[in-house]
Amino acid sequence: MQELFELRLIRAGESLPFTLDATPARLSLAADGARAEICFASPDQVRIRLTGAALQLRMVATGAYDMVIADAPDRWQVVCNTLVETKLMVAARAGRIVVDAPWEAERCSRIVLELQPEGGVGEFVIDEYVGTWVPSERAVSFDTCVNHASTEFAAWVNALPAVPAEYAEARELAGYVLWSCGVAAHEHLPRPGILASKNGMIGVWSWDHCFHTWALADAHPEQAWDQFLLPFDHQDASGAIPDLINDRLVSWSFCKPPVHGWILRRVLQNTSLLNETRLAEIYGPLGAWTTWWLTHRDPGDGLPAYHHGNDSGWDNSTIFAVRPPIQSPDLAAYLVLQLDFLAEAARRLGRDADAESWSTRADELLARMLARFWRGDRFVAIRTSDGADIDCASLQLYLPLVLGRRLPAGVRAALIAGLTTPGRFVTEHGLATEALNSPHYKDRGYWRGPIWPAPMLILIDGLSACGEVDVAADLRRRFCDLVARSGMAENFDANSGAGYHDFDFTWTASIFLILAHALTHP
């Protein structure tokens, strides 16, 4: 978590209990005729207006080298070294700033800034910066800042995909979560990005970004395409893309599953985003990413492996209860679809020989996948070290349904029967990630029980592609009802529907928009 300051409304030295009122443009703290209003004037500037009380900013925790420096009589620099490694310039436009920050050799033992109005009214500005502070434009009024933010948000939301009327409030919330988690290009983010969250998961993971591309493809096409390209901006010479990026970090410890071709195929079919220019831009990087899996993660039998649950996106799935590497049919399925997309892209770009090669590789990979993982009534994952089947009841083994009619009819039928068997995965709210009757099922088990948005979309799409339109529509409605009731949580209790972990998660917002929009044209 990245909380920096605790906020207190102060009158005559006493902390006032306050009520909160929040809109996308303004946060208000109100108590007994007093009010503090807060608005983001820009991504790196906060404006504050006070009436009848002071606002105290009390740093949540101080550590090595956290400090406050007087920059001018009405301006203080705050060095936030421990929590977020950033700097703030806090300045008074009307009123004064009182600082309580005792110095202890190399840091301040505590940091408290009290923004005090004069004559009952105060206005203050907080600029965030990294290196050197440069004075910014502050001539516009607080109300102008609020109006600008309100107008910007309204324009953003109004462009989002249409949803049924009963989901209008959830659509606005989804829009807010995506809008508020947008960040400007900076350091390791060479283009604007949408973070997974601004709570705990502050970064762009290399499959989350795909869902934002699909959801925003027609509404905000430039931003949608930026999201897709972000991880590929860091692609290395081998073809790999990083697991995670943010402005300060590029992490290569893991990777994420190659859902990119499947997503691009759906974007190509359902939106106007992928013109020939964009196809040409992504063709080479996507081909290199695909080849990386088929080359650098192949233990020698033509079927790539995951080295950790994180690589699959299903961090602690029961598939990974044994030591990796693990060969799993979902990985092969994604790569078949990615090879199919590359073949289609090559044809559209006039590269017929490439198209034939990609198609041949897709067919060969599908044949190896079925021969290795299919056991007549189910798919299994395999421990690479000894070739042993892994005994588990994870929903992950049903993800190959995303192949649709690429799967033989008997395989499709058996998978659908196993998926929809009463008491296994289907609940009132969606699909549990571990079978409900599994000894490893846990309500708060992360990928061992809760409902997650990504597999819901993958399996709903797969069921539709298999011709199971009614089953897909039923699951789509269950998930949209769940989100409308429980919000944009990272994941949800399979039985109660309660949200878990992070409650402002952007892939939940994007996947809700995709699935709710599909309900407008069954």
Domains within the chain, CATH numbers bracketed: 5-149 (no CATH), 159-518 (1.50.10.10)
pLDDT > 80? residue 138: no
User: Quick one: DSSP state of residue 319?
Assistant: G
pLDDT at 136: 75
Query: Residue 90: its pLDDT value, please?
Result: 97
Mean pLDDT of 414-443: 97
* Alpha carbon distance 108, 168 (integer Å): 48
Inter-residue contact 471 to 431 (CB < 8 Å): no
How many C-beta atoms surround the C-beta of residue 209 within 10 A? 27
pLDDT > 70 in the chain, percent: 99
Average pLDDT over residues 113-122: 94
User: Between the CA atoms of 388, 391, 394 and 398, what dihedral angle is there, to the nearest 10 degrees?
Assistant: 60
202: which 2 tokens? 């502050």
Closest by CA to 514, choosing from 204, 278, 210, 198, is 210
The total of other beta-carbon atoms located within 10 Å of residue 187's CB is: 12
For the stretch 182-219, pLDDT in tens is: 999 989 999 999 999 998 899 999 999 999 999 999 99
DSSP designation for 499: E
Mean pLDDT of 28-54: 95
pLDDT band at 130 (very low <50, low <70, confident <90, very high): confident
Q: 177-185: long-range contacts at Cβ-Cβ below 8 A with a sequence spacing of 24 or more? A: 177/488, 177/504, 177/505, 177/506, 177/508, 177/509, 178/212, 178/215, 178/216, 178/506, 178/509, 178/510, 179/24, 179/153, 180/24, 180/504, 181/504, 181/506, 182/223, 183/43, 183/247, 184/43, 184/44
Work out the pLDDT band at 82, boundaries 50, 70, 90: confident
Q: β-pairing, 112-116 with 193-194?
A: unpaired
Whether the predicted pLDDT of 355 surpasses 50 = yes
pLDDT at 430 over 70: yes
Give pLDDT, residue 2. Answer: 67
- Predicted confidence at residue 522, as pLDDT, reads 62
The pLDDT value recorded for residue 51 is: 96
Higher pLDDT, 466 or 62: 466
The secondary structure of 84-95 as a DSSP string is T-EEEEEEEEES
pLDDT of residue 369: 98
pLDDT in tens, 284-293: 999 999 999 9
| Bridge partners, residue 496, by sequence | none
Mean pLDDT of the chain: 95
User: Which pLDDT value is given to residue 62?
Assistant: 81
CA 175 – CA 156 distance, rounded (Å): 7
Q: Rounded to an integer, what distance in angstroms lies between the CA atom of residue 479 and that of residue 452? A: 10
Q: Identify the burial level of 448 via C-beta atoms within 10 angstroms of its C-beta, where 0-12 means exposed, 13-18 middle and 19 or more buried.
A: buried
pLDDT at 48: 97
Does 103 or 62 have the greater pLDDT score? 103
DSSP classification of residue 488: S
pLDDT at 85 over 90: no
pTM of structure: 0.95
Per-residue pLDDT tens digits for 291-340: 999 999 999 999 999 999 999 999 999 999 999 999 999 999 999 999 99
Beta pairing partners, 67: 79
When pLDDT is averaged across residues 358-387 and rounded to a whole number, the result is 97
Q: In the chain, pLDDT over 90 holds for what percent of residues? A: 91
Separation in Å, CA 328 to CA 160, 310, 334, 416: 36, 13, 11, 18
Nearest 5°: CA angle at 327, between 325 and 332?
135
456 near 463, Cβ under 8 Å? no
Residue type for position 228: F
Q: Which residues pair with 72 in a beta bridge?
A: 75
Report residue 1's pLDDT band, with 50, 70 and 90 as the boundaries: very low
CA-closest candidate to residue 397, choices 319, 313, 485, 486: 319
